[in-house]
Copies of this chain bind each other. A is one copy, B any other.
Amino acid sequence: MYRTHTCGELRLTDQGKIVTLAGWVQRSRKFGGITFIDIRDRYGITQGVLNEELNSKIDNNIPGREYVVQLKGLVVERSSKNINIPTGSIEIEIKELNILSLSKIPPFTIEDNSDGGEDIRMKFRYLDLRRSVLRKNLELRYAISRSTRNYLHENGFLDIETPFLIKSTPEGARDFVVPSRMEPGLFYALPQSPQTFKQLLMVSGFDRYYQIVKCFRDEDLRADRQPEFTQIDCEMTFVEQEDILVMFEGLIKRIFLEVKQIALPNAFQRMTWEEAMWNYGNDKPDIRFGLTICNLRVLSDIFPAFSKSTATSPLYLKNTGFPIFDEAQSILAICIPTESEITRKEIELLSEWVKRPQVGMKGISYIRYYSDGSIKSSFDKFYSESFLKEIVLYCKSEPGDLILLLAGPEDITRKAISELRLFMGEKLRKRNPEEYKLIWIIDFPLFEYNSELGGWTARHHPFTSPKLDQIELMMKQDPKILNQEAYFEHPFYNIRANAYDLVLNGNEIGGGSIRIFQRELQEKMFAAIGLTEEDAQYKFGFLMGAFEYGAPPHGGIAFGLDRLCAILGGSESIRDFIAFPKNNSGRDTMLDAPSKISLRQLKELNL
């Protein structure tokens, strides 16, 4: 061993000991005849002092930044203590100094706030990882996975490894494939998730399974997506939705308690998908703040439980000559309780913001409800003040509020108001990263209409079970949609799934479902999403076969570990929580991969 102690270990009580430390030179300073050398390792930093004799021998060859050195010496009390670090009361009187390894000057400073840009830090990732910010991120990641393993172990889950070289069955996302050398022309695929394997394990009777496992999706990368990512993947037998929600609330509570020392409430809030869409315009609502949507007009049947409630809105069917409203399928609003702070100029900027192509609205309307009770709007000439008052009342607005309104087609308007809500929440500093609000979103639609395919796709995935009382409806119904404009009139539109997402501060951190375990229902599901019988058999014959030999009811969930780490670490970027991530083009710039392979390799693979 090159050391007797780490660089974070020595205290005043170690005074008088002869110790050996090894680590990286954080900095060295020469003051006349004395040199101070701070050495660093994962555990901390310790100050060493070269006495005059040794100092004179070293002369000007003081080890530079990031040199790896070994110090032997005596632990002594420091005259001027540094209370900011745990070892700050002592220093090492160096008797022997060995340079183990030299270092060139790093291409960027290895400090909490590095001067290096993203590209150079990615290329020299091994140096970036020396920064304590990144080191703490990976330590946090380990702490989360450790808590996860302990909790699941205590609850009887078995960690079972599933294969990485599997069969390509792309539904939705693209597979990465691996050419077979032994069978030219054939391919393995890398798993997008261990979904079918964990279901087979339930059929095998393993009862409770988990795995912290890499998954792969060959998608066009958006910012902060990685082609390989890690899931906490779980499955349970003989359970209903309620059992899963309770079990995994327990997991998340355990992680927060152990990793963040935060005690979360005993039961998390729950909200149906329809409620979430209606009130937040989003199936992953950030519930740290209100500003919920006021539905002033919704001329569509896509929210059967709520749409009728808008009929009492003053704007419901009113036609008053204001074309933006008159022509709108939906008119949605949010009430901002800080009228005085938002100037006309700022509203104009908001208007520009919603007009960006990503949002796609034509503009923003507003009503100012002054503290004195008077009301003014951006569309005064079309409506009387008493009518505006009706709107204000319908929106349950308070004096002092600013009401922002968007009008247009239901889909883009709801998306836009949802984004506007988040934007305003941010602006009003209501999205505190130190506040953690969790909510289960339940009762998702089983199907989703896909206009490209002109048919249904599975909203979660095709292994998700419909609600028990809707199985019969689903089995009987022809999936064909007669009129593409009114797909929500098809009975499939209203089938709800036993599916659930866990949402943390507006981010989906996990999702799962109770699964189909009956062959007939699974066949019907595949047919509904447009797989021919042959296709279904070719791709998933093994699973449907398994359902014929005593498949138990089962369900599960998967959490995105990268995202969970990022949120708990208070960061926007999952890359900061992955040791060796790819960049936004899917490249590893440190390795320079992907890269060419040799002709011999290509030939062997018959490519």
Contact = CB atoms under 8 A, between A and B. Distances in A.
Contact of A101 (B550, B580, B593): B550
Contacts of A135: 204-206
A185 interface: yes
A214 interface: yes
Interface in A503-529: 517-518
A122 to B, nearest CB: 11
A3 B551 CA distance: 16
A178 interface: yes
B550 A204 contact: no
A588 interface: yes
A332 B173 CA distance: 62
A245 interface: no
Contact of A588 (B2, B166, B205): B166
A482 to B, nearest CB: 29
A189 B67 CA distance: 33
Contacts of A166: 588, 591, 593
Interface residues of A, number: 118
A378 interface: no
B601 A185 contact: no
A128 to B, nearest CB: 8
A366 interface: no
Interface in A166-218: 166-168, 170, 174-183, 185-190, 197, 200-201, 203-207, 214, 216, 218
A547 B129 CA distance: 15
B206 A138 contact: yes
B168 A24 contact: no
A597 interface: yes
A605 B206 CA distance: 38
Nearest to A103: B550
Contacts of A596: 185-187
A261 to B, nearest CB: 19
Interface string A486-498: 0000000000000
Contact of A102 (B160, B186, B550, B595): B550
Nearest to A123: B542
Interface stretch (A141-149, A297-305, A386-394): A141-149
A228 interface: yes
Contacts of A17: none
A593 B142 contact: no
A210 B202 CA distance: 29
18 contacts: A42-B205, A43-B207, A66-B550, A68-B551, A103-B550, A124-B549, A142-B159, A142-B160, A161-B578, A162-B580, A164-B164, A164-B228, A165-B228, A165-B582, A167-B593, A181-B218, A182-B220, A186-B596
Given A1-B243, A43-B207, A138-B206, 11 more contacts: A42-B207, A100-B553, A129-B204, A130-B204, A142-B159, A163-B582, A165-B176, A165-B227, A168-B593, A175-B597, A197-B579
Top 5 A-B residue pairs of the complex, sorted by shortest distance between their CB atoms:
A103-B550, A129-B204, A167-B593, A2-B238, A186-B594
